[in-house]
Amino acid sequence: MCAVLDWPIVSVPADPAVLAGLDAWRSLPVRQQPTWPDQTALTAVSERLAASPPLVFAGEADALRDHLAKAQRGEAFLLQGGDCAEVFAEADAGRIRNKIKTILQMAIVLTYGASMPIVKMGRMAGQYAKPRSSDQETRDGVTLPAYRGDIVNGHDFTEASRTPDPQRLLDAYHTSASTLNLIRAFTMGGFADMRRVHEWNKGFTVTPAYRSYEGMANEIDRAIRFMSAAGADFDALRTVEFYAGHEGLLLDYERPLTRIDSRNGNPYDCSAHFLWIGERTRQLDGAHIDYFSRVHNPIGVKLGPTTTGDDALALMDALNPEGIPGRLTFITRMGAGTIRDALPPLLEKVAADGRPVLWVCDPMHGNTITSSNGYKTRRFSDVIDEVRGFFEAHKAAGTIPGGVHVELTGDDVTEVLGGAEEIDEIGLARSYETLVDPRLNHAQSLEMAFLVAEMLRERTA
């Protein structure tokens, strides 16, 4: 997040038609929104949000778009990771630091293993709204609204907690701001300096992945010492660009945080650098597609196993009709057993169209299962197999596998089955903490990075 920001002396005002368009979604079908019981409170909160400073700058979103354009062309690779659902009470320094360290470690494994620049992005500092399969949840005969993420309601199973509360939009804004502040401090203040690769491993449990990382960090150290002795200047390695993204789901939050870029009069959603539209809200005639077609951030769309080539083209027409490089990312989440059949027709159709798209693999959301002891989980082997299928399909089509999108945490949780620590169904009970979907823990995340580095190395070989 260190784009050069030119602060213009003369502001370009927005075209009134562009401003009016930002509210067109209100008259379209909109899915997965809460029913706010108090509309007056919602209006007051929206006004507060609209008057608050933006969380990111438009210039930073533009810089990210350029990086994503490089990933599209195979000159970089996107790593996006973080919680399924961030939780306000867990936005503390220790957890945020562990997540950043984990993503930095994964990025360095990929950079070193595949000699490829990695674009680093968190599912962080705003990932508070969740689409749900069901609007309600029933426990022991009591039915309450489903938990829709901390920005909407609380997870506790009481009527008070589950009732949507607009004040939570302000809490989400402030928690995003403090999270982003810490991310900026960690990545711009010297902590992310590549000469400190060893320190990013400190404090984590010693696992096989931890040891592999130590080995690689020793090699990097040696290479840096050699290059320094040879006169190279490593000060450029002091800081790291780290971007923030979340699902652009809750339009009552995204709309007031949308601002007009004074450089050119264009609207940007300044709640994050990157917003994606979920599998459940990507209807062509729906509110989400309309809204995000009007803001200038780089935008992602999740594509599940039933997506057709024509759906993909229609999404390109809606979100990136002119084919601006880096503007549109397709995040496929097909399932390990499906990707090898479902992805190739999409790749073929999009390649024939010619407009650029960044293809990213989410190997999590198509591989969710329930364990026999009742946990919502995923198998590490399925996650890796889906990434493998993604690389295979791109190789066969002659297209570029441009990134991975992963649900992970830097903490030592037990939510995903398998990995080198061989977490089994009984083991899930040890430290199952997620409020929605299961996340890779620190060791599983590192292990994944080593495996993806190999796939990426083969791609570039």
Ligand X SMILES: O=C[C@H](O)[C@H](O)COP(=O)(O)O
Ligand Y SMILES: C=C(OP(=O)(O)O)C(=O)O
Residue positions forming the annotated binding site for Mn(2+): 84, 365, 407, 437
Count of residues making up the chain: 461
Report the residue closest to ligand Y, judged by CB: 278
For ligand X, what does the binding mask look like between residues 358 and 377, x meaning CB under 6 A? -------x------------
Instruction: Kindly tell me which residue out of 31, 132, 349, 459 binds ligand X, with binding defined by CB under 6 A.
Output: 132
Least Å from the CB of residue 191 to Mn ion? 28
For ligand X, what does the binding mask look like between residues 417 and 446, x meaning CB under 6 A? -------------------xx---------
Which window, 33-41, 106-114, 273-281, 372-380, contacts ligand Y (CB under 6 A)? 273-281
Our finding on whether 84 is near Mn ion (CB under 5 A) is yes
196-210 b/e with 16+ CB inside 10 Å = b? bbeebbeebeebebb
Our finding on whether 103 is near ligand X (CB under 6 A) is no
Binding residues for ligand Y, rule CB under 6 A, total 9
Which window, 34-42, 128-136, 292-300, 423-431, contacts ligand X (CB under 6 A)? 128-136
Nearer to Mn ion, 172 or 331 (CB): 331
Least Å from the CB of residue 362 to ligand Y? 6
Q: Which two tokens stand for residue 374?
A: 């009742």
Distance CA 57, CA 432 (A): 36
Which of Mn ion, ligand Y, ligand X, none binds 342 (CB below 5-8 Å, type-dependent)?
none
Directed axis angle between helix 442-460 and helix 380-397, to 10°? Answer: 20
Which of Mn ion, ligand Y, ligand X, none binds 132 (CB below 5-8 Å, type-dependent)?
ligand X
Question: Which residues does 95 contact at the CB level (< 8 Å), separation at least 6?
Answer: 409, 410, 411
Tell me, letter by letter, the H, E, C secondary structure of 272-326. CCEEEECHHHCCCCCHHHHHHHHCCCCEEEEECCCCCHHHHHHHHHHHCCCCCCC
Our finding on whether 95 is near ligand X (CB under 6 A) is no
Which of ligand X, ligand Y, Mn ion, none binds 279 (CB below 5-8 Å, type-dependent)?
ligand Y
Instruction: Kindly tell me which residue out of 255, 302, 378, 394 binds ligand Y, with binding defined by CB under 6 A.
Output: 302
Place of tokens 């496929």: 332
Q: In the range 62-91, which residues lie near ligand X by CB under 6 A?
A: 84
Distance CA 33, CA 136 (A): 13
Number of C-beta neighbours around residue 41 at 10 A = 14
Could you tell me the CA-to-CA distances from 432 to 411, 420, 443 in Å, in that order? 11, 18, 15
Shortest CA distance to 248 belongs to which of 88, 400, 376, 61?
A: 61
Our finding on whether 84 is near ligand Y (CB under 6 A) is yes
Distance CA 461, CA 454 (A): 10
Shortest CA distance to 269 belongs to which of 15, 50, 30, 34?
A: 50
Instruction: Kindly tell me which residue out of 34, 267, 278, 326 binds ligand Y, with binding defined by CB under 6 A.
Output: 278
Least Å from the CB of residue 308 to ligand X? 22
Determine which helix (DSSP H) or strand (DSSP E) holds 212, and give its type and residue range.
helix 208-229
Could you tell me the CA-to-CA distances from 266 to 11, 43, 254, 270, 323 in Å, in that order? 11, 24, 15, 12, 17
Our finding on whether 440 is near Mn ion (CB under 5 A) is no
102 and 448 Cβ atoms separated by less than 8 Å? no
Q: In the range 228-247, which residues lie near ligand Y by CB under 6 A?
A: 247
Nearer to Mn ion, 82 or 166 (CB): 82
Q: In the range 130-159, which residues lie near ligand Y by CB under 6 A?
A: 131
Determine which helix (DSSP H) or strand (DSSP E) holds 139, and give its type and residue range.
strand 136-139
Q: In the range 400-439, which residues lie near Mn ion by CB under 5 A?
A: 437
Nearer to ligand X, 148 or 255 (CB): 148
Which window, 41-49, 124-132, 249-257, 417-425, contacts ligand X (CB under 6 A)? 124-132
Instruction: Kindly tell me which residue out of 294, 365, 388, 439 binds ligand Y, with binding defined by CB under 6 A.
Output: 365
Least Å from the CB of residue 247 to ligand X? 8
287 and 29 Cβ atoms separated by less than 8 Å? yes
Which window, 62-70, 126-134, 388-396, 410-418, contacts ligand X (CB under 6 A)? 126-134
User: What residue numbers does the annotated binding site cover?
Assistant: 84, 123, 279-280, 302, 333, 365, 407, 437
Least Å from the CB of residue 217 to ligand Y? 31
Residue 258 half-sphere exposure, CB side, CA atoms within 13 Å? Answer: 27
Would you say the C-alpha torsion 328, 331, 334, 337 has a positive or negative sign?
A: positive
Least Å from the CB of residue 93 to ligand X? 25
Name 406's bridge partners. Answer: 81
Nearer to Mn ion, 113 or 410 (CB): 410
Interface with ligand X (CB under 6 A): 84, 130-133, 365, 436-437
Interface with Mn ion (CB under 5 A): 84, 437
Interface with ligand Y (CB under 6 A): 84, 131, 247, 278-280, 302, 333, 365
